[in-house]
């Protein structure tokens, strides 16, 4: 057993009436996923308790008190907070702030070698078609009541089915329909039971009734986030490639792959795309109620299920990502055919596949990623689609470009290049971070053709400055196009500013400079607000532009417009204006979208937005669901929106998923401003929205 140590970290301070922050804990070491109580005392120079707001942050891990990280915890001289260690070994820096003063302590997170007696779980109940696979077998067999399960065993449920697993400590997990779950660890130690499961897809509901003692574990893992509990009721929903943790009772700790740990209280949910937990859309009864279908089939027709399982055994692991359809790249349209697999091993992520394409239906077939030198070498069909390595908040990523923002997103907001890959590197150390975007991609493996995927390079430096974050960003376009709209092409931009966390979001300011190819410069300033409310994100702010500064220049449409020699740049007339931005984003399971209104004070604004609604499949019916996607852009939304002769660009697409987003069939209605009518197009291929 570890010998308990009393560690006291004392930092003498001398401003704003604060003289001492005392931090003490029973130990300087903690096992992965463990909880370490830390006593915090805030005293004035005379040793008297001080009532103030306490903030804290951890280089890895998190705190059980959610407000400690986001809003600030009201402390009357003394409190005890619980540090939650991540599932990664190494030294962690804990930083506590009161007013403008700071105290730090170091904690080492170690990986404990857990040994104990192997125990068994049992199938308490099931319904419908469900199968199990032993750890040392590749054959799926039908589930039966009373079936014993151990380490390495897997459960698979089909449509309208479920399985209830009971563990030795009376905890239960309900494996709902279309779900695959593997028991990775199931042992009894001197400290209690250790239960770890890996959820590959679908939905589970767990009820951990007994308050777990120190050293006991009950966790449900996914590729990007792990749910760990001490006694609660919660669900893990892994659909559309995004795992979500929803808590119904007690508190669940969400352990993210990047090292963050956040508590998810009852009534809340979180996924890897959220900065903090938000109100949950899920209801507990949706996971606990009995299915509407008869339960007899699963228990009375075991022989038939066994025949089906042996006839077509399910494949373990992630399904391949199949893409067949058109792709716009480097200003050209291609017909693409690819299949790829993703694999995650600890901090390493890898996506590799087979890719072929042609420039016209029935034309010559080429291999690899489209480039200026098409390849007919069959070896080039193997493509490295992505690779990533993550250590805490630092990472190396080679991937398809997501949407990029810099600073307060005043100069670069939502920048991307369709179907292009790039290298993104971020290093974090001592309260500072350095990020770089390198627009290069591997086009061919056999000849190792590693070339540019874009001409826009950018990076950002950040550091903590008291209670603010200071940032310095830069963007450089090596091949700025000459626009036909009379604007001056921009060769580089520099941005700097401060942002601060407040109780209901972030506020900040950004100062920016844009430089044209003729060396003329323009300047801008933006002050704004950012707030996240569960699935909804809101943004609002005011800006000033001077000497022709173009706000939001590097946006989602910059690359496409540059191909059309219509990329935005510095206004040649040197205009100066004051303007505003208001809008938001929705990130819900069945609806996602963005809508922004921006423009000069007293002038006509621009309206820009897109959205997708996902109609889910209907259980018991031959209906896979629908994707309903729309887009709109209008420079004068209050002067002729969707009118003949107007300037509205809009379309609405309805597609039926044959193989998810990768293969769909449907139709599109596209607005034609010249005729004032909607034109209908038939579509077959991929329908990927981001």
Contacts of 301 (CB under 8 A, 6+ apart): none
- Chain centroid, CA 642 distance in Å: 34
Q: Could you write out the DSSP letters of every residue in 286-313?
A: HHHSPPSS-SHHHHH-HHHHHHHHHHSP
Round to whole Å and give the CA distance between 133 and 149: 9
Q: What's the N-to-C CA distance of the chain in angstroms? A: 50
pLDDT at 506: 75
Average pLDDT over residues 167-191: 91
pLDDT at 419: 82
Percentage of the residues of the chain whose pLDDT score is greater than 90: 33
Task: Let me know: does 403 contact 587? Beta carbons within 8 Å.
Answer: no
- Chain centroid, CA 314 distance in Å: 28
Q: Could you write out the DSSP letters of every residue in 505-557?
A: EEEEEEEEEEEETTS-EEEEEEEEEEEEETTEEEEEEEEEEETT--TT-B-TT
CATH class of 117-288: mainly beta
Round to whole Å and give the CA distance between 348 and 386: 11
The highest-confidence range among 124-128, 492-496, 581-585, by mean pLDDT, is 492-496
Round to whole Å and give the CA distance between 690 and 684: 19
Average pLDDT over residues 295-324: 43
pLDDT at 69: 87
| More confident call, 414 vs 28 | 28
Q: For residue 249, which of 263, 271, 264, 234 has the smallest C-alpha distance?
A: 234
Round to whole Å and give the CA distance between 246 and 571: 49
Lowest mean pLDDT among 78-82, 447-451, 549-553, 634-638: 634-638
Round to whole Å and give the CA distance between 529 and 545: 18
48, two tokens: 């008297």
pLDDT at 687: 65
pLDDT in tens, 54-64: 999 999 999 99
pLDDT at 301: 41
Q: Which residues pair with 178 in a beta bridge?
A: none
Judge whether residue 80 has pLDDT over 90: yes
Q: For residue 535, which of 603, 465, 585 has the smallest C-alpha distance?
A: 585
CA 406, 408, 409: angle at the middle one, nearest 5?
55
pLDDT at 313: 37
The highest-confidence range among 96-100, 355-359, 454-458, by mean pLDDT, is 454-458
Q: Can you point out the beta strands (E) in 392-431?
A: 394-400, 404-405, 413-415, 421-429
Average pLDDT over residues 13-37: 77
Judge whether residue 210 has pLDDT over 70: no
Judge whether residue 263 has pLDDT over 90: yes
Spell out a b/e string for 386-412, using b for 16 or more CB atoms within 10 Å of the CB, else e: bbbebebebbbbbbbbeebbbbbbbbb
1, two tokens: 């057993």
Residue 75: count of CB within 10 angstroms of its CB: 19
Round to whole Å and give the CA distance between 484 and 510: 29
Domain boundaries along the sequence of the chain: 7-110, 117-288, 318-387, 392-587, 604-690
| More confident call, 296 vs 113 | 113
Lowest mean pLDDT among 10-14, 322-326, 442-446, 638-642: 10-14
Place of tokens 């120190």: 214
DSSP-derived letter for residue 112 is -
Round to whole Å and give the CA distance between 553 and 492: 11
pLDDT at 70: 86
Instruction: Return the HEC string of 171-213.
Output: CEEEECCCCEEEEEEEEECCCCEEEEEEEEEEEEEEECCCCCC
Lowest mean pLDDT among 195-199, 262-266, 541-545, 631-635: 631-635
Round to whole Å and give the CA distance between 232 and 243: 19
Spell out a b/e string for 229-249, using b for 16 or more CB atoms within 10 Å of the CB, else e: bbbbbbbbbbeeeebbbbbbb
Lowest mean pLDDT among 47-61, 264-278, 435-449, 573-587: 573-587
Let me know how long the chain is: 690
pLDDT in tens, 593-642: 888 888 888 777 888 888 888 887 665 555 667 888 888 888 777 776 77
The highest-confidence range among 297-301, 357-361, 530-534, by mean pLDDT, is 357-361
pLDDT at 13: 37
pLDDT at 14: 35
Averaged pLDDT of the chain: 82
pLDDT at 495: 96
The highest-confidence range among 348-357, 457-466, 480-489, 558-567, by mean pLDDT, is 457-466
Round to whole Å and give the CA distance between 84 and 107: 11
pLDDT at 314: 37
CA 587, 686, 614: angle at the middle one, nearest 5?
35
pLDDT at 298: 39
Judge if 7-110 and 117-288 fold alike in CATH terms.
no
Task: Let me know: does 689 contact 629? Beta carbons within 8 Å.
Answer: yes
pLDDT at 88: 86
Round to whole Å and give the CA distance between 267 and 277: 10
Average pLDDT over residues 522-543: 81
Round to whole Å and give the CA distance between 493 and 499: 19
Judge whether residue 295 has pLDDT over 60: no
Task: Let me know: does 257 contact 225? Beta carbons within 8 Å.
Answer: yes
Spell out a b/e string for 443-469, using b for 16 or more CB atoms within 10 Å of the CB, else e: bbbeeebeeebbebbbbbebebeeeeb
pLDDT at 176: 95
Average pLDDT over residues 308-322: 43
Judge whether residue 96 has pLDDT over 70: yes
DSSP-derived letter for residue 379 is G
pLDDT at 534: 60
Judge whether residue 138 has pLDDT over 80: no
Average pLDDT over residues 96-120: 87
Task: Let me know: does 129 contact 38? Beta carbons within 8 Å.
Answer: no
CA torsion angle 276 279 282 288 (round to 10): 90
pLDDT at 484: 66
Domain 7-110 has CATH 2.60.120.10: no
Instruction: Give φ, ψ of 638 to 5 degrees.
Output: -95, 5
| More confident call, 55 vs 336 | 55
Round to whole Å and give the CA distance between 568 and 550: 7
pLDDT at 584: 82
pLDDT at 658: 67
pLDDT at 532: 57
Lowest mean pLDDT among 20-29, 52-61, 72-81, 666-675: 666-675
pLDDT in tens, 679-690: 887 776 666 655
Instruction: Classify 400 in phi/psi space as left (phi over 0), alpha (psi -120 to 50) or beta.
Output: beta
Place of tokens 């054959």: 139
Residue 331: count of CB within 10 angstroms of its CB: 10
Lowest mean pLDDT among 60-74, 111-125, 631-645: 631-645
CA torsion angle 658 661 665 669 (round to 10): 150
pLDDT at 238: 92
Judge whether residue 186 has pLDDT over 60: yes
**Which long-range CB contacts under 8 A does 261-267 form with residues at least 24 apart?**
261/58, 261/61, 261/62, 261/84, 261/85, 261/86, 262/62, 262/66, 262/69, 263/62, 263/63, 263/64, 263/65, 263/66, 263/84, 264/234, 265/66, 266/232
């Amino acid at each position: 057993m570890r010998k308990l140590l009393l560690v006291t970290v004392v930092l003498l301070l001398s401003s704003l009436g604060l003289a001492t922050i005392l931090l003490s804990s029973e130990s300087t070491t903690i096992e992965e996923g463990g909880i370490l109580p830390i006593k915090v005392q805030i005293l004035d120079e005379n040793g008297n308790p001080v009532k103030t707001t306490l903030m804290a942050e951890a280089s890895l891990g998190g705190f059980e008190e959610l407000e400690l990280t986001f809003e600030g915890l009201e402390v009357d001289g003394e409190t005890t907070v619980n540090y939650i260690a991540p599932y990664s070994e190494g030294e962690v820096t804990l930083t506590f702030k009161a007013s403008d003063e700071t105290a730090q302590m170091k904690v080492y997170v170690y990986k404990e070698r857990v040994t104990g007696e192997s125990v068994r779980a049992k199938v308490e109940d099931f319904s419908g078609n469900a199968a199990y696979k032993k750890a040392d077998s590749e054959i799926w067999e039908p589930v039966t009541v009373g079936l014993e399960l151990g380490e390495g065993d897997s459960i698979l449920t089909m449509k309208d089915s479920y399985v209830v697993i009971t563990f030795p400590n009376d905890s239960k997990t309900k494996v709902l329909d279309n779900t695959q779950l593997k028991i990775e660890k199931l042992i009894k130690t001197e400290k209690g039971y250790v239960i770890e499961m890996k959820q590959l897809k679908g939905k589970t509901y767990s009820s951990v009734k007994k308050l777990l003692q120190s050293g006991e574990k009950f966790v449900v893992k996914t590729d990007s986030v792990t749910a760990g509990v001490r006694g609660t009721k919660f669900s893990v929903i892994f659909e559309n490639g995004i795992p979500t943790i929803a808590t119904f009772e007690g508190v669940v700790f969400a352990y993210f792959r990047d090292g963050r740990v956040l508590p998810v209280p009852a009534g809340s949910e979180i996924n890897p795309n959220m900065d903090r937990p938000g109100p949950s859309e899920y209801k507990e009864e949706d996971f606990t109620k009995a299915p509407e279908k008869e339960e007899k089939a699963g228990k009375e027709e075991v022989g038939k299920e066994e025949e089906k399982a042996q006839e077509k055994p399910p494949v373990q692991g992630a399904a391949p990502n199949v893409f067949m359809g058109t792709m716009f790249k480097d200003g050209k349209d291609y017909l693409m055919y690819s299949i790829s697999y993703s694999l995650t091993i600890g901090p390493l992520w890898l996506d590799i596949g087979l890719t072929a394409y042609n420039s016209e239906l029935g034309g010559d077939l080429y291999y690899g990623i489209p480039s200026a030198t098409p390849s007919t070498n069959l070896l080039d069909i193997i493509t490295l689609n992505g690779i990533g390595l993550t250590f805490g908040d630092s990472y190396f990523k080679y991937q398809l470009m997501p949407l990029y923002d810099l600073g307060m997103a005043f100069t670069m907001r939502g920048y991307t290049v369709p179907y292009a890959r790039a290298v993104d590197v971020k290093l974090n150390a001592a309260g500072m971070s350095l990020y770089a975007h390198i627009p290069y991609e591997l086009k061919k493996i056999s000849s190792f053709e590693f070339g540019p995927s874009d001409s826009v390079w950018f990076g950002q430096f950040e550091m903590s400055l008291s209670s603010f974050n200071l940032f310095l960003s830069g963007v450089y376009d090596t091949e700025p196009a000459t626009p036909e709209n009379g604007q001056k092409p921009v060769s580089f931009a520099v941005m700097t500013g401060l942002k601060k966390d407040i109780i209901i979001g972030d506020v900040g300011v950004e100062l920016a400079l844009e430089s044209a190819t003729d060396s003329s410069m323009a300047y801008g300033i933006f002050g704004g607000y950012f707030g996240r409310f569960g699935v909804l994100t809101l943004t609002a702010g005011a800006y000033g532009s001077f000497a022709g500064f173009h706000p939001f220049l590097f946006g989602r449409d910059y690359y496409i417009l540059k191909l059309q020699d219509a990329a935005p740049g510095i206004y040649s007339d040197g205009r100066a204006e004051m303007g505003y931005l208001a809008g938001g984003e929705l990130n819900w399971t069945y609806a996602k979208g963005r809508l922004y209104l921006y423009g000069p004070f007293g002038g006509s604004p621009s309206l820009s937005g897109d959205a997708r609604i996902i109609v889910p499949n209907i259980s018991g019916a031959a209906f896979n669901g629908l994707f309903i996607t729309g887009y709109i852009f209008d420079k004068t939304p209050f002067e002729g929106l969707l009118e003949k002769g107007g300037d509205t660009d809009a379309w609405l697409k309805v597609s039926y998923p044959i193989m998810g987003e990768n293969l769909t069939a449907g139709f599109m209605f596209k607005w034609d401003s010249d005729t004032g009518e909607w034109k209908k197009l038939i579509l077959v291929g991929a329908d990927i929205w981001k």
